[in-house]
Structure 1
Amino acid sequence: MDTVGRKRQVLVLLLFWSFFFLCQTSKAAAAKIPSNLNYTKYRQVSNLRLERIERHLDKINKPSVFTIESPDGDIIDCVHKRKQPALDHPLLKNHKIQKVPPEIPKLKMVKTDGVRDVSNSSKSSDERLGAVNWQLWHKNGQRCPKGTVPIRRSKVNDVLRAKSLYDFGKKKRHGLPLARRVDAPDVVSGNGHEHAIAYTGTSQEIYGAKATINVWDPSIEVVNEFSLSQIWVLSGSFDGSDLNSIEAGWQSG
């Protein structure tokens, strides 16, 4: 009977410690779940998926030299220029970053304070911009230090908005009709995507692009809906086989 009693005691202790460690593991996993996740908007996610998302975010969110918190809640990381995610690409290994273009574009007329200035000013770009807050996170007067690049920190919610972790950060292909029509550049496709296209000939030189974007108060009603105002610089063919784009603008949703 003593032997049976000792076995029962050992079994009870094993069950107790197993239950204890299980509770601690559950608490640790739950601690990784952001408290601001809106489960009425996003489906319930498993701890395994959250761990995969966290590992991916640790990979793409580079260590910052300086951090700025935007009034809208975004976190801007000032990352050393040699540590920016773009340089993780194998083809950009040992890439030399050019601070100035190899060829200076022709002088363009610059409008400052309502007066067009055609003089070749030696002022830096920061001096020309002055106190213009062209990003929301500039409003507190902070800027990233020299030698760093500002990168918005990606969060778990950003990944959950994508269809999957594989699709996160990738542009959705809608198969929009991008036919070049000189007579009617404004195109409204069947799915409600409205856009305008301007293009140049293959022999024309391009030094850059500029746009003034008027942003109002877009109404976002469903999860997959968004309002986007941006400028694209495209290269390649429109069939999508070698199309590359640089995009900048303002998106809500």
Structure 2
Amino acid sequence: MGMAGFTIALMMIGVIISPCVYGKEFSDHQEIEVEKLLKLLNKPARKSIKSEDGDIIDCVPIHSQPAFDHPLLKNHTIQMRPSFIPESTSMYIKTNPTQVWHKNGRCPENTVPIRRTKKEDILRSKSNESFGKKTTSSVPEDNLSNNHEYAIMNSRRGKYFGTKFLVNVWKPEVQVRSNEFSLAQTWLASGDGANINTIEAGLQVYPDIYGDNNTRLFVFWTNLGLESCD
């Protein structure tokens, strides 16, 4: 899918301390709301695979994935291949990365692997509404007071159709402090201020979200300046 018009491409490696504080106490009513959210997020799967690290991977039909619950994607036609490949990507080398859960099986064709959301995942968030979202800025700022440390390479001019990057997969040890995490990612951004929109993908270690120190793949996107991610 082409992404012409994006005006900023960033590759970022850093350690970030988020200012959010995630609550631990939930009322009975909130417990019911958590169960409703789990039913909404965990779509019926054709196959489920138990990973040795404790995760359950659900193989969800490609048209049933949670992204298509969004009103803007109603009746969306999935484009399995790009309509064209820019000359600049001619050096692209296709790889077949593996993950821990692959030891116990693979998802069938026309399904997508989705890590099953557990009750504990939601309880680690500040609220049901904030689950899966971030409240920090979507573009790095030159502000030492925000407790963010960055190492960035970026390009701010030109017409972009996408982004790619190579990154080593590490398992960094983050300190035992609330909301600290480490990530490496590629980043496309368009717009300014409250109208900023981004598409991001990379690897992160984030105990407050995942409940462990494992390195995990993540994707993040915004809708009209509103934060959401998977």
Q: Which amino acid in the other structure matches residue 100 of structure 2?
A: L
Identify unmatched segments of 5+ residues in structure 2.
Answer: 1-21, 208-230
Answering whether residue 145 of structure 2 is matched by residue 145 of structure 1, we say no
What is the RMSD computed on CA atoms of the aligned residues? 2.5
| 1:41-60 CA-partner distances (Å, limit 9, x unpaired) | 97443322111100111011
Identify the residue that residue 79 of structure 2 maps to in structure 1: 98
The offset of 1:211, in angstroms, is 2.4
The answer to whether residue 67 in structure 2 is matched with residue 86 in structure 1 is yes
Counterpart secondary structure, 2:120: helix
Q: CA deviation at 1:250?
A: 2.6
Q: Structure 1's 94 and 159: CA in aligned 2 closer, same or farther, altered over 3 A?
A: same
Give the Cα separation in 1 of the matches to 2:70 and 2:121.
22
Which of 62, 71, 78 in structure 1 is aligned with 2:52? 71
- Greater RCO structure (CA 8 Å; 6+ sep): 2
SS in 2 for 1:190: helix
- Report the CA distance between 1:158 and its aligned residue: 1.0
Q: Given the alignment, which residue of 108, 119, 138 partners 2:91?
A: 108
Q: 1:142 to 1:241 in 2, by over 3 A?
A: same
- Decide whether aligned partners of structure 1 residues 42 and 57 sit closer, same or farther in structure 2, where only a CA change above 3 A counts: same
Aligned to 1:136: 100
**1:174, distance to aligned residue in structure 2 (A):** 5.1
**Amino acid of the structure 2 residue aligned with 1:234:** L
1:231 and 2:194 are equivalent in the alignment: no
Q: Return structure 1 stretches of 4+ with deviation > 6 angstroms.
A: none
1:56 lines up with 2:19 in the alignment: no
CA distance in 2 between counterparts of 1:155 and 1:109 reads 36
Bigger proportion of residues as helix = 1
* Percent identical: 33
1:157 is aligned to 120
Decide whether aligned partners of structure 1 residues 105 and 162 sit closer, same or farther in structure 2, where only a CA change above 3 A counts. Answer: same
Q: CA deviation at 1:103?
A: 0.3
Deviation at 1:199, TM superposition (A): 2.6
1:249 aligns with 2:203: yes
1:113-170 per-residue CA deviation (whole Å, 9 max, x = no partner) reads: xxxxxxxxxxxx5xx52xx52x2222x1522111011111111111111111111111
SS of the residue 1:199 aligns to: strand
Larger strand proportion, structure 1 or 2?
2
Aligned residues: 184
1:244 partner amino acid = T
**Unaligned segments of structure 1, at least 5 residues:** 1-40, 111-124, 180-187
**Alpha-carbon distance, 1:109 to partner:** 5.8
C-alpha separation in 2, matches of 1:90 and 1:212: 34
Contact 1:75 1:153 in 2 (8 A): yes
Higher deviation after alignment, 41-50 or 229-238: 41-50
| Conservation of the 8 A alpha-carbon contact between 2:58 and 2:113 | yes
Judged with a 3 Å threshold, the aligned counterparts in structure 2 of structure 1 residues 221 and 165 are, in CA distance, closer, same or farther, namely: same
1:204 is paired with a residue whose SS is: coil
